[in-house]
Structure formats: structure tokens, C-alpha cells
């Protein structure tokens, strides 16, 4: 996939090179945190993120200008200070891979995954590595939503500590069908899962295919209940009423069951036209425009691989070699050409 040579950047306030400095950037003049009712700065989630293509990065938590955008390529990043409601707030992010842009973005655009199984109730978990959307937060934790997929007809939500979430997808847990287990499917699209035989309902599961979307494996019958387990993008370990499920003949296979959960990986991007590819010889300040009168909006770390697109009177436009983050509109990522070891001494600059 080709990326146009002339990409751009809009205004951003001065970038803090170290990630812990992001805390100060997210406070107002009174010293109060902008999203004090959200996750707080102690909540940091990182990894190689799958981000919705063209998701903007803004200069401010509220309002502000779009200063960069995600390309759709896998983007190494850190995120902190998640809003209490992702539909109305932004999260503070810092891109990685040696090309650091800091700003605020929609947390729902960042695909997340559980590092371990995430409890929904006493008998239901979202499986580790299942895809998640962060929909809210509270101090030290986030609320995640697993979409309706892989046999589910409705999304499932759970709360998880921040250290249980990552942006890097791992391997799905291994599940072995219990010995001598029998297959069961729900008789209808809603199935109550009980914590114990005759106990309280732990969760009501919405299943696709009028109940056929999930294959449960039963092992123990007791007082009108059967103990079942199963794992796909969710893990079930509980009891169901025998009257609400249908036992399959032993050895019967169900080809209508949902396939394993898969997340499509983003494509690798490449640039068609550029002057050169090089490693940054030193830390480089990224400027909003050509000239030192413009504010800095990020930095390139030493040895980071970059494309050099063009030079203009002592200034150069650059892009990260991974192309995970791009400029917006008619702007560009500017650096001093002399700091790259090319070009003449920069002039006073321009837009």
C-alpha cells in the first residue's frame, strides 16, 4: 500500500519526550486532572496496537486540533488517563518505534486484548487474547467490551485492572474437552448460567443461531442441572438447566458452530517516493511547521529509522519507517536538515 509523499501535521503543544511527563500535560491550570473520574495516570496500557485507519490524534483532551493520524499499520504506543466514558472522552497516547508523537485520541479506536482471562461473573470469563474495546474506566481499571462474535449475539462487558490489558495480541488459551463429556446446545437464544446446581443465575448468555452458536461440554448431571464448560472467545464453567439445553448424540459434529476468533492484522505499508532512508544520527525535534518559530510536537529518537521526503532551505520533512503515524491535512513532520547531516543552515522558516 502506497502512502502519498506529501503528508502533513497540524498544531500541537510542546511534546514531552518522556512518557511520565504526560501526567502534567493532562491537568488544567488549577492543577486538577481533566479526567479525574477516569483511570488516572497510574493506569498505563501499552503494546503494538491495531488502530482504526485515519483515527486522528488531537492536541487537546477536549476540542483542539487534529495533529496527526494513525495510518492503519500496527502502531507501538502507550496510553494513559482513560476517560470514564469512552464515548465522550479521549485518552492520552504516546506513539513508539522511535518516532514519538503525543496527543489525545478516541480510546475505542485502539484494539485491546486481555493478558489473562477476565471475569465477567463467577461462571463466565472473556478469554485471554480475545479482542476488546475499552469503553470506560475508573481509578486503576478499565471497562472492556467483547463484541458479538464467535457464537455471541450480544457484546459482553467486564472490568479489569489496567495491568491485565495490552494492545499486543497474544496466543489464545488451550482448551481440552473433558474426558467422557457430552455436547450440549441451548434450545433458544438466551441461556442462564448458574454458579451451582440449583443456585443463583450468574449470567444470562445471548447466543447466536437460536442457541446453536455455542457448543457446551457437559460432564456431571445433578438435580435437573448439568455442569458445562467451553472455551472460544469466552470461557464458561458453570451449570445450566437440562430443560434449557439439548444433548447431542455422542460423536455428532456441529458444522454450524462459529469458527475460532480471529483478528485481521493490518497490512504493511510502504512508501513509493522519498529521498532516502536513514537512522536519526541524534534525537531530533519534530516541528509543526518549517522554522523554529513553530512549536515542537514530538521527537525522533536517536537511531530511529526514518524516511526523508524532501529538503527545503535547511529543513526536511520526514516520516517514520514503519509509517504507523502520519501527518494530517496539508502539514508535514519537519526537522532541521543540518541535524540529519544534510542541507545548509536553516533559514527563518515558513508555514
* Percentage of residues in the chain having pLDDT higher than 90: 66
Give the chain's domain count. 2
pLDDT at 40: 94
Query: Does some domain include residue 136?
Result: no
> How does strand 234-241 pair with strand 225-231?
antiparallel
Q: For residue 103, count other CB atoms closer than 10 A to its CB.
A: 28
Domain hosting residue 290, numbered range: 270-340
What CA–CA distance (Å, rounded) separates 254 from 261? 17
pLDDT at 51: 96
Phi, psi of 265 (to 5 degrees): -80, 145
Query: Does some domain include residue 22?
Result: no
pLDDT interval class at 305 (50, 70, 90) = very high
Assess whether pLDDT exceeds 50 at residue 193. yes
What CA–CA distance (Å, rounded) separates 293 from 153? 55
Query: Does some domain include residue 11?
Result: no
Assess whether pLDDT exceeds 70 at residue 162. yes
CATH number for the domain harbouring residue 208: 2.30.30
Do 236 and 275 lie in a common domain?
no
Query: Does some domain include residue 274?
Result: yes
What CA–CA distance (Å, rounded) separates 238 from 255? 24
* pLDDT tens for each residue of 76-124: 999 999 999 999 999 999 998 899 999 999 999 999 999 999 999 999 9
What CA–CA distance (Å, rounded) separates 336 from 233? 49
Question: Range with the lowest mean pLDDT among 87-91, 165-169, 343-347?
Answer: 343-347
> H-helix or E-strand containing 301?
none
CATH number for the domain harbouring residue 314: 2.30.30.40
What CA–CA distance (Å, rounded) separates 130 from 111? 10
Do 240 and 293 lie in a common domain?
no
DSSP label of 24 = H
Coil, helix or strand for 22? helix
Q: Long-range CB contacts (< 8 A, 24+ apart) of 244-247?
A: 244/186, 244/187, 244/188, 244/191, 244/192, 245/184, 245/185, 245/186, 245/187, 245/191, 245/216, 245/218, 246/184, 246/185, 246/186, 246/187, 246/211, 247/182, 247/183, 247/184, 247/218
User: Which residue, chain included where needed, has cell 503525543?
Assistant: 102
C-alpha cell at 257: 458452530
* Percentage of residues in the chain having pLDDT higher than 70: 81
Query: Does some domain include residue 110?
Result: no
Query: Does some domain include residue 289?
Result: yes
Question: What's the predicted TM-score (pTM) here?
Answer: 0.82
DSSP label of 237 = E
Amino acid at each position: 500500500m502506497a502512502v502519498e509523499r506529501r503528508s502533513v501535521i497540524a498544531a500541537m503543544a510542546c511534546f514531552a519526550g518522556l512518557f511520565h511527563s504526560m501526567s502534567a500535560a493532562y491537568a488544567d491550570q488549577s492543577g486538577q486532572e481533566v479526567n479525574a473520574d477516569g483511570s488516572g495516570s497510574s493506569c498505563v496500557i501499552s503494546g503494538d496496537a491495531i488502530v482504526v485507519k485515519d483515527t486522528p490524534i488531537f492536541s487537546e483532551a477536549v476540542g483542539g486540533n487534529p495533529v496527526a493520524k494513525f495510518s492503519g499499520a500496527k502502531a507501538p504506543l502507550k496510553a494513559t488517563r482513560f476517560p470514564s466514558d469512552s464515548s465522550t472522552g479521549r485518552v492520552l497516547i504516546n506513539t513508539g518505534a522511535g518516532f514519538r508523537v503525543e496527543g489525545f485520541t478516541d480510546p475505542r479506536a485502539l484494539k485491546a486484548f486481555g493478558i489473562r482471562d477476565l471475569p465477567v461473573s463467577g461462571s463466565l470469563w472473556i478469554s485471554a487474547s480475545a479482542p476488546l474495546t475499552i469503553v470506560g474506566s475508573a481509578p486503576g481499571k478499565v471497562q472492556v467490551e467483547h463484541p458479538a462474535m464467535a457464537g455471541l449475539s450480544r457484546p459482553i462487558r467486564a472490568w479489569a485492572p489496567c495491568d491485565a490489558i495490552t494492545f499486543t495480541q497474544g496466543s489464545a488459551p488451550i482448551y481440552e474437552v473433558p474426558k467422557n463429556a457430552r455436547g450440549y446446545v441451548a434450545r433458544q437464544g438466551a441461556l442462564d448460567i448458574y454458579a451451582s446446581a440449583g443456585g443463583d443465575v450468574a449470567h444470562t448468555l445471548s447466543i447466536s443461531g437460536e442457541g446453536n452458536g455455542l457448543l457446551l461440554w457437559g460432564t456431571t448431571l445433578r438435580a435437573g442441572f448439568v455442569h458445562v464448560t467451553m472455551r472460544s472467545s469466552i470461557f464458561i464453567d458453570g451449570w445450566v438447566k437440562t430443560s434449557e439445553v439439548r444433548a447431542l448424540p455422542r460423536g455428532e459434529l456441529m458444522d454450524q458452530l462459529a469458527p475460532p476468533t480471529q483478528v485481521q492484522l493490518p497490512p504493511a505499508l510502504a512508501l513509493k517516493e522519498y529521498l532516502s532512508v536513514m537512522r536519526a544520527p541524534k534525537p531530533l525535534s519534530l516541528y509543526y511547521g518549517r522554522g523554529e518559530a513553530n512549536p515542537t510536537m514530538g521527537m525522533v529518537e536517536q537511531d530511529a529509522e526514518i524516511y526523508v521526503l524532501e529538503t527545503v532551505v535547511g529543513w526536511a520533512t520526514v516520516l517514520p519507517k514503519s509509517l504507523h503515524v502520519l501527518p494530517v491535512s496539508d502539514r508535514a513532520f519537519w526537522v532541521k536538515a543540518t541535524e540529519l547531516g544534510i542541507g545548509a543552515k536553516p533559514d527563518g522558516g515558513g508555514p
